[in-house]
């Protein structure tokens, strides 16, 4: 019985160690990519993943430039 308890304690320690390492690794990854949009992100169909914030803003602005200042009419049926 003591052998099983000791084995479970070691297993729990290893699992917690791997989880902590993963969380720390994700933190370093996020910190090193603070100015970049995560891969796979799109805005209204415009892919902006991997771009800097400024480049992403420029790409979205260019895509929707024709709509700037356009009139928008909202209709609600009662």
- How would you write the pLDDT of the chain (78 residues) with one tens digit per residue? 788 889 999 999 999 999 999 999 999 888 877 788 888 999 989 999 999 989 999 999 999 888 888 888 889 887
In the chain, domain spans: 1-32, 35-68
64, 48 contact by CB (below 8 A):
no
14, 3 contact by CB (below 8 A):
no
Q: What pTM was computed for the model?
A: 0.49
Task: Specify which residues 46 forms β-bridges with.
Answer: 43
Joined together, the tokens standing for residue 21 give: 């390492």
What is the Cα–Cα distance from 64 to 70, expressed in whole angstroms?
Answer: 11
Largest CA distance in the chain: 76
pLDDT at residue 41, rounded to an integer: 92
């Amino acid at each position: 019985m003591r052998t099983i308890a000791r084995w479970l304690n070691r297993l729990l320690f290893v699992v917690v160690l791997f989880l902590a390492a993963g969380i720390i690794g994700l933190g370093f990854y996020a910190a090193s990519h603070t100015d970049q949009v995560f891969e796979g992100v799109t805005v209204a169909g415009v892919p902006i993943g991997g771009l800097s914030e400024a480049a992403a803003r420029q790409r979205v602005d260019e895509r929707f430039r024709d709509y700037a200042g356009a009139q928008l009419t909202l209709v609600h049926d009662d």
